[in-house]
């Protein structure tokens, strides 16, 4: 299985070491790449989201998982169970929209929509949390002691 986290915008410099640490740790379970797409440049949020949607839909594989505050919330064990059901060499794409959120076309194209919290989180922080949860899910699947319920 291969993981690809596709995010609009650049990551936060303060979180780069954290992200790198978990990308490196994930290599023991599944290769993981981080793809940064450019922020929309339009003046209006609607147009920015449309620009970003075009980039997302041009990059993400059909059936991707979208992170959105209105999506399904799941505990870490459910993430692990979801990963366990995926096919061995599948490429799994996960999408984090830009600061204005996801355009309706991105929501419509997503295979699943997940939420990390009822809180609204900055998309840079979402990247870090998602990478850690990827690692946590794989350690749960393997019975590794990283996850302490």
Domains and CATH numbers, the chain: 2-142 (3.40.1280.10)
Across 55-64, 114-123, 140-149, least confident range: 140-149
Distances in Å between the alpha carbon of 91 and those of 38, 53, 114, 123, 131?
22, 20, 18, 22, 16
- The mean pLDDT of 97-109, rounded to a whole number, is 96
Rounded Cα distance, 85 and 12, in Å: 32
Given the structure tokens 């009822």, which residue do they identify? 118
Work out whether strand 32-37 and strand 65-73 pair parallel, antiparallel, or are unpaired: unpaired
The pTM score is: 0.94
Q: Which of 86, 96, 80 is nearest to 129 (CA)?
A: 96
Helix orientation angle between 76-84 and 123-142, rounded to the nearest 10 degrees: 70
Nearest 5°: phi and psi at 70? -100, 5
- How confident is the model over 122-132, as pLDDT tens digits? 888 999 999 99
């Amino acid at each position: 299985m291969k993981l690809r986290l596709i995010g609009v915008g650049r990551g936060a410099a303060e979180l780069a070491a954290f992200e790198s640490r978990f990308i490196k740790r994930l290599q023991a379970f599944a290769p993981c790449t981080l793809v940064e797409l450019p922020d929309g440049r339009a003046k209006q949020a609607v147009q920015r989201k449309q620009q970003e949607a075009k980039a997302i839909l041009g990059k993400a594989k059909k059936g991707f998982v979208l992170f959105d505050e209105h999506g399904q919330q799941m505990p870490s064990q459910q993430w692990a169970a979801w990963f366990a059901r995926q096919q061995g060499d599948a490429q799994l794409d996960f999408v984090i929209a830009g600061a204005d959120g996801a355009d309706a076309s991105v929501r419509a194209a997503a295979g699943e929509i997940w939420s990390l919290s009822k809180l609204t989180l900055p998309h840079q922080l979402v990247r870090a949390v998602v990478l850690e949860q990827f690692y946590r899910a794989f350690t749960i699947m393997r019975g590794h002691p990283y996850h302490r319920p």
